[in-house]
Amino acid sequence: MSFSAVVVAAGEGLRAGPGEPKAWRLLGSRPLVRWSVEGLRSAGAREIVVVVAQDRLAAADEAFQGLEGWRAVAGGKTRAESVQAGLAAVTADDEQPVLVHDAARPFVTRSQVERLLGALEGADGAIPALPIPDTLKRGDGLVEATVSREGLWRAQTPQAFRLGRLKAAYARWPPDEEPTDDASVIERDGGRVALVPGDPMLMKLTWPEDFLMAEQLAGSRRIVRTGLGVDAHRFGPGEAVMLGGVRIAHDHGLVGHSDADVGLHALTDALLGAVAEGDIGQHFPPSDPKWRGASSDRFLVHAVKLAQAKGARILSADLTLVCERPKIGPHRDAMRARIAELLGLPVDRVSVKATTTEGMGFTGREEGLMAQAVVSVETPL
């Protein structure tokens, strides 16, 4: 089911201790708020509105670099005002589901989202919730009473609603009160809110020690995947070849439907393989005349965008070129720099190597050349 999302990241998070506002602190080398955006994108969000403080609008571009399908808007003085600013920026129609999520809960997954969307079909809202396992006491310094925990739940986010229903309920909420969550707005407006099984991993980071625990958990929420790509083209008439995004003068050209850059083709296939998105021929069929002579940069950029849309972070790339000529050594650094630019990586995570087949086979006879590439990515579970 198609859905939109609002991620609330406009608060200061003072209880988390001194330093950056909570949503912008680093968790596993990435801003906390980016974890939520990546998780929702991976779960299938068609658009994500991130609500930030006015002075963080520029910082959002850096925090979400490489991600698509998001935009940032300025929030208000209260959470309720920020949520309403986010809802106003959603472009879906009123019947479409919208998930409202706190940036302080970084470990959202597809399975959590699917449970919410399923429950929303029979209710006005749906929230993930956990039963309370501890004995509850009321008091201030001394116990005044033991409170029954029967029927009590810990509400989490994301919380799911129909966009128009939530906007209308907020419009009728008393302006002098602050709701503790969005489900309470629907409840007061007479709506039915379904409970779905929550997830302990949807923990809210509130105190400094929460960040220490989350840092240990962060590595377990993502996995490393590796893809392999192989490509070969034969030599033909020409005075230069494209290799690794660099034009190299040569006494032959390479024959291919595009610019025949075997290096970028192998890297594209490797990246597509790492995120299970097929191969280069599926996305750019040789039979389609619009790709005739096209720069292979476009193919690799397309694969990068597909990977980012699935919440993947590219970690490294290793390219091996197999040929007798042209000599790769003089152009290695230029290739590394161009590939790093296309993949959004620092140069020290890109390797370009060259080898020959000692005169054997089609590369040894200088009939053409070949490339092999390995790309590693990190993706959400």
Same domain, 145 and 285: no
Residue 16, pLDDT score: 46
Check which CATH number belongs to the domain holding 338 and give it.
Answer: 3.30.1330.50
Q: Determine the pLDDT at residue 366.
A: 93
216 occurs within a structural domain: no
Q: Range of 21's domain?
A: 4-206
Task: Kindly tell me if the per-residue pLDDT of 99 is higher than 60.
Answer: yes
Dihedral angle over CA of 330, 334, 337, 341, nearest 10: -150
How far apart (Å, rounded) are the C-alpha atoms in residues 70 and 272? 23
User: What average pLDDT does the segment 239-247 reach?
Assistant: 95
Is residue 217 a part of any domain in this protein?
no
Q: Are residues 149 and 268 in the same domain?
A: no
* C-beta separation of 248 from 331 below 8 A: yes
- Radius of gyration of the chain from Cα atoms? 26
Report pTM. 0.67
Count of the separate structural domains present in the chain: 2
pLDDT digits (tens, 9 = 90+) for 268-322: 999 999 999 999 999 998 888 888 889 999 999 999 999 987 778 899 999 999 9
Cα separation of 364 and 323, whole Å?
A: 7
pLDDT at 274: 97
The pLDDT of residue 27: 87
Phi, psi of 368 (to 5 degrees): 180, -170
Residue 350 to residue 340: CA distance in whole angstroms: 6
Residues 248 and 364 in one domain: yes
151-195 per-position pLDDT tens digit: 999 999 999 999 999 999 999 999 899 999 999 999 999 999 999
Condensed to tens digits (0 to 9), the pLDDT of residues 212-222 reads 888 777 766 67
